[in-house]
Amino acid sequence: MNTPRSGPASGRVSPAAAILTFLTLAAASGGCGSRPATPILKTTGPPVVEGTLTRTPIRFSTTEHAVRPTVIDAEEGRLRVPERHADPDGRRIEVHFVRFTSTADRPGPPIVYLAGGPGGSGTWSSSGDRFALFQQMRQVADVIAYDQRGTWGTEPYMVCPGTWSYPLDRPWEEETLRGVVAPFLKECAGHWGESADLSAYNTVESAEDLEALRVALGAEKLNLWGTSYGTHLAMAYIRAHPDRVHRAVLAGIEGPDHTYKLPARIDEVLRRVDEAIRADQRTQAAAPDFLGSLEKLVGQLEREPVTVRVENPKTGEVVSVVVGAGDLRRAIYSVLGEREDIELLLERGLPMLKGDFSGLALLALQQRLGRRELVMSLSMDCASGATEARREAIRSQQKTALLGDQNVWLNAACSQWPAKDLGDAYRSPVEATVPVLFISGSLDVRTPQENAEDVLPGFPNGHHLVIEGGSHDDDLFLSSPEIAETIVAFLRGEQPRERIVLDPLRFKLP
């Protein structure tokens, strides 16, 4: 999981039971799940300096808030790389990693984990609920929890000063958002632009960081293990250095031209969820036409947004929040992020169909106030951009898509942010003979399974594993023990399976 651009708020919530669990939805700005508590890296010996690489023995603990944290020996690494690789004598920055030594008698090439987001931390991921998976991968090779340039653990780690807030007296819409974030982003760019080249925080430069890491480690090749945006970075590295990749496992595919989401693909996932509702007699009876009712509700809120009085969980103050169709679409998109959230869809959605918008208003309140932004996230996505063909497809599809255009944040932020577009050559299909295992969830709205089908033609040695009933984030790794088994087997050179079927969704009802 990854570092969200703006983490969900926390604190005391309204006592109304009908709205409580709605607040567990992922932040709608696109982050992939919530981060665990801070990992603990305790130095156990002197650092060893090898050119631009510094290696330090450590004791690695899972998280600072764990009741019984797991503690193991590991190695912390810091690597100095050029901010601009075309200027090796210019300013240098630092990337960071934690290496877990292989348990194999004859380890293969090191496995480098590339977190999603963009903005996620490999170190955070390895210390949370994926810790056991990281340790399982040690059966094959050393496993490196890698922190990409600009993320937690690296230098510089650039977080925009201050926060921004969306007005409570207007429904969520792109035009208003553009005006709200423009001065905030201008101030942020001015603040960090004095000490850093913000346009250097793009996926091409980050891919060259990976190559510098490979050289520093003395490895002939790397095994790449990426998720979500991490797959985007992995494909950039494969394009640039195909002879340096042994194998790759890419889960939740974001190809070169997938940064901006297609509305039709998001709606297709929503239809699959509706099919799951209708396949269960219990939920079909409770919501005989959920999708049709949702469509009517979207139309109602487009025509007439509603004002709802809710308690601010941070201050205890009762405030008025105006919510409209954009807020509803944003909330539904958020709840489709993982199976455990999807199973709450009816419990939290059916009250709205009966006119109770308190849950939606409280979610909107928390999503709108005190938003923080990470420079790396802004720069990476805005530089990757989209082809004109994809933008035209989005414009066409959003006219009829039930959940509309979920690229509102990118549209607003990238129109203001000083990123240099990487161009259509960067967004062209990747072609390589590298063996790749692509993993998709059939219910993934963020990186739909069709994304993998888009990129597969360029990989003659590619394989596609579909997790039937899986969504994004942990679903792509932890929803079945067969997933880890398949990954390990593939990295050992075995033929992977093509499908893993999860148990049917168990929707909760109000």
Q: Beta strand pairing status for 499-501 and 71-82? A: unpaired
DSSP E strands: which ranges in 111-240? 111-114, 143-147, 222-227
Give the pLDDT band of residue 39 (cuts 50, 70, 90).
confident
DSSP E strands: which ranges in 209-262? 222-227, 245-251
b/e map of 78-97 (b: 16 or more CB within 10 Å)? Answer: bbebbbbbeeeeeeebbbbb
Answer whether residue 7 shows pLDDT above 60.
Answer: no
pTM for the whole structure: 0.92
Q: Are 209 and 93 in contact (CB under 8 A)?
A: no
Q: Which residue shows structure tokens 């607040």?
A: 23
Cα angle 414, 416, 417; round to 5: 65
* Residue range 322-371, pLDDT digits in tens: 999 999 999 999 999 999 999 999 999 999 999 999 999 999 999 999 99
Distance CA 380, CA 175 (A): 23
Answer whether residue 148 shows pLDDT above 60.
Answer: yes
Of 403 and 8, the one with more pLDDT: 403
Distance CA 470, CA 476 (A): 7
* Residue range 299-331, pLDDT digits in tens: 999 999 999 999 998 899 999 999 999 999 999
Residue 385 CA, chain-centre distance (Å), reads: 16
State whether the Cα torsion 340-343-345-346 is positive or negative: negative
Measuring CA to CA, which residue among 118, 201, 241 is closest to residue 422?
201
Distance CA 422, CA 160 (A): 23
Burial label, 191 (beta-carbon count in 10 A; 0-12, 13-18, 19+): middle
Cβ-Cβ contacts under 8 Å for 144 (sequence gap 6 or more)? 77, 97, 98, 99, 100, 110, 111, 112, 113, 122, 213
* Residue range 436-463, pLDDT digits in tens: 999 999 999 999 999 999 999 999 999 9
User: How many CA atoms lie less than 13 Å away from 62 in the CB half-sphere?
Assistant: 15
Confidence at residue 263, expressed as pLDDT on a 0 to 100 scale:
98
* Residue range 462-488, pLDDT digits in tens: 999 999 999 999 999 999 999 999 999
